[in-house]
Amino acid sequence: MTGVYEFGGRRVRITSVYGEVHSLCRDYQADDGEADFRVEILQEDIDFEREKSRREAKYEGRPFADYADPYLETLAVYRKIAEKMPFYDTVLFHGSCIAVDGCGYLFTAPSGTGKSTHTRLWRRLLGERAIMVNDDKPLLRIGPDAVSVFGTPWNGKHHLGCRMEVPLRGLCVLERAPFNHIERMDARDGFLPLLQQIYRPADAIAMRRTLALLERLIDTVPLYRLGCLPDLNAAALAYETMRE
């Protein structure tokens, strides 16, 4: 099965074994035509995702969930897209991005820290002014002077996100804390925590480009560290600080 879709401003022709990935990407469909690059999935790519999941479950000491091939293929597709994107000045990032009044605010942290909870509080605080761009894996296009955030179909277990592009106004590393506080971070402090949350390609050339793009990202976008409780006061503090 084949379809053409647009991610991060690039047209991608996807050829798959199963149809689930095309259902997942239907809101990102593009007119059939010339693509910037192609992604073709073979059974060996699906098998790789299963074995990777098995290794991670063993490492983390949790039960292994043997997902069906059609779901694993959706992971294989996004992995192959992420491998190609650095050649278009774009990276896949693990974080929750919300747009307010047309500007994006991106929160990142290890899984389970509370990114989705925090952006949900922003939506409670700001109502219809706040729109979820992507709750899990947005794309960042990192230009010389500005960074744009794009929604993707890979938007978390709650499927929060949409097909939109917004300028990134601030990037925040989220931490749990006994009280709410937020500070600016400099590039030296921000590099390692952001590197841990960016997709790191297996291809050496793509990885070098990713590192260069990360350096450009932290030089271009204001960085913050937010220690917070899961309450509306934390959302108000973060918004009032980051919008300035």
DSSP notation for 66-126: ---HHHHHHHHHHHHHHHHGGGGTEEEB-SEEEEETTEEEEEE-STTSSHHHHHHHHHHHH
Own/partner pairs for 124-128, CB < 8 Å, 24+ apart? 124/232, 124/235, 125/232, 125/235, 125/236, 125/239, 126/100, 126/239
pLDDT tens string, the chain, 244 residues long: the values are 999 999 999 999 999 999 999 999 999 999 878 999 999 999 999 999 999 998 988 888 888 888 999 999 999 999 999 999 999 999 999 999 999 999 999 999 887 778 899 999 999 999 999 999 999 999 999 999 999 999 999 998 889 999 999 999 999 999 999 999 999 998 888 899 999 999 999 999 999 999 999 999 999 999 999 999 999 999 999 999 999 8
- The dihedral over CA atoms of 206, 93, 17, 57, expressed in degrees to the nearest 10, equals 100
**pLDDT at 37 (0 to 100):** 97
- The pTM score is 0.93
| CATH 3.40.50 intervals, the chain | 90-242
Q: Euclidean distance between the first and final Cα of the chain, in Å? A: 47
Predicted pLDDT at 65? 84
- The β-bridge partners of 148 are 141, 167
CA distance 214 to 170: 14
- CA 109 from centroid of its chain's CA atoms: 12
CATH 3.30.1370 fits 90-242, yes or no: no
